[in-house]
Amino acid sequence: KQIEASSDVIERKSIRSKRKYPKQVRKQLMDLVLRKQRYQKAFEILGARNSYSKTDPDATFMRMKDDYMKNGQLKAGYNVQIATEGQYALAYSLFSNPTDTRTLIPFLDEIEQHFFELPEHIVADAGYGSEQNYNDLLSNRNREALITYNMYVKEQKKKHKQNIFNPDNWQYDEVTDTYKCPNQKRLEFQYHSVRKDRTGFQREFKVYGCEDCSGCPLRSKCTKAKEGSNRKLMINEKWEQQKEYVRAKLSDEKTSAIYRKRKIDVEPVFGFLKANLRFTRFSVRGKLKAENEMGLALMAVNLRKFTAKK
């Protein structure tokens, strides 16, 4: 009625837009409600992951070795974990987590629950070396961890040991609890720091600070801290003790011999699986179906190995 009663064009347009407003708001509201429902469903599927495939919601996007485009492309897949002995697959499991570090503890739990009792020595490569994993194996399971860590090989090299800017090579005084930097300045203990990762595991650090970095000729090579700030050093004592434990075990003749067998024990199983059986991807979707297919493939690997030995 107001539109019909008005003869002014601008006024008629203004009244007409007001009449459409409730309908537009309702449409926008319904769109937001539906979008929120989709987001909630997506978050339920994601869980603790950061991605999932629409064709296989159980799979997670990971960087694969077969990167034909050489651009770090992501593909939906599973992280397969296999426990071996004598080139036989004894246990296996599939994880939707691309990081090996966070698969060791749940995989060992699964082995103890469904397969067999864990052996005295747990052998794995550097991808599994972390404070949380060492703590679980040494304290909770009372097993010997023959697992290297990421910097293990680099630490053995002459260049690393002679690097004066590497805090591992700095002089430490136990009495005063201080370090000495390459410029002979003292780094004194300041405070404790606790950091928590995404899994909830806590790491405790001791933070040391240099007494005075101003005018230091080595500052640009020693620290990236802004001018006016002193060099800080964070030391995780528990992690350093664990690394020392690993170095001692891998220096021992008996345990180092056990660790050296890993390459000729574990890697051939994956080699037989991929090269001989041509099993490089799953032909089914869903974690349960993929686990069944993986079990059949590993059974074939074991039978092939057994027949060859006979």
Give kind and range of the element (H or E) at residue 234: strand 232-235
pLDDT bucket at 164, cuts 50 / 70 / 90: confident
- Confidence at residue 1, expressed as pLDDT on a 0 to 100 scale: 83
Instruction: State the DSSP code for 272.
Output: I
CA distances from 173 to 161, 178, 179, 231 (A): 19, 5, 6, 18
Find the mean pLDDT for residues 262-290: 91
Condensed to tens digits (0 to 9), the pLDDT of residues 198-244 reads 878 889 999 998 888 888 888 888 888 777 788 888 999 999 999 99
- Confidence at residue 287, expressed as pLDDT on a 0 to 100 scale: 92
Residue with tokens 């240099």: 210
| Other CB atoms within 10 A of residue 143 CB | 15
| Other CB atoms within 10 A of residue 188 CB | 12
pLDDT over 80 at 54, yes or no: yes
Q: Is 89 helix (H, G, I), strand (E, B) or coil?
A: strand
Residue with tokens 């350093």: 240
- Confidence at residue 216, expressed as pLDDT on a 0 to 100 scale: 83
Condensed to tens digits (0 to 9), the pLDDT of residues 76-112 reads 999 999 999 989 999 999 998 888 889 999 999 999 9
pLDDT-wise least confident of 5-9, 135-139, 186-190 = 5-9
Q: Would you kindly state where each structural domain of the chain is located, as residue ranges?
A: 2-46, 60-152+245-309, 164-238
The percent of the chain in helix, strand and coil, each rounded to the nearest 5, is 45, 20, 35
**DSSP per residue over 95-157, as a string?**
ES-S-GGGTHHHHHHHHHHHT----SEEEE-GGG--HHHHHIIIIIS--EEEE--TTHHHHTS
- Confidence at residue 30, expressed as pLDDT on a 0 to 100 scale: 95
pLDDT bucket at 65, cuts 50 / 70 / 90: confident
pLDDT over 80 at 174, yes or no: yes
Q: What's the whole-model pTM score?
A: 0.81
CA angle 129, 102, 288 (to 5 degrees): 135
Specify whether the CB–CB gap between 91 and 294 falls below 8 A: no
The CATH class, in words, for 60-152+245-309 is alpha beta
What is the percent of the chain with per-residue pLDDT over 90, rounded to a whole number? 42
Mean confidence (pLDDT) of the chain: 89
Residue with tokens 């897949």: 77
Token duo for residue 109: 């739990």
pLDDT bucket at 71, cuts 50 / 70 / 90: confident
Selected residue with higher pLDDT from 263 and 68? 263
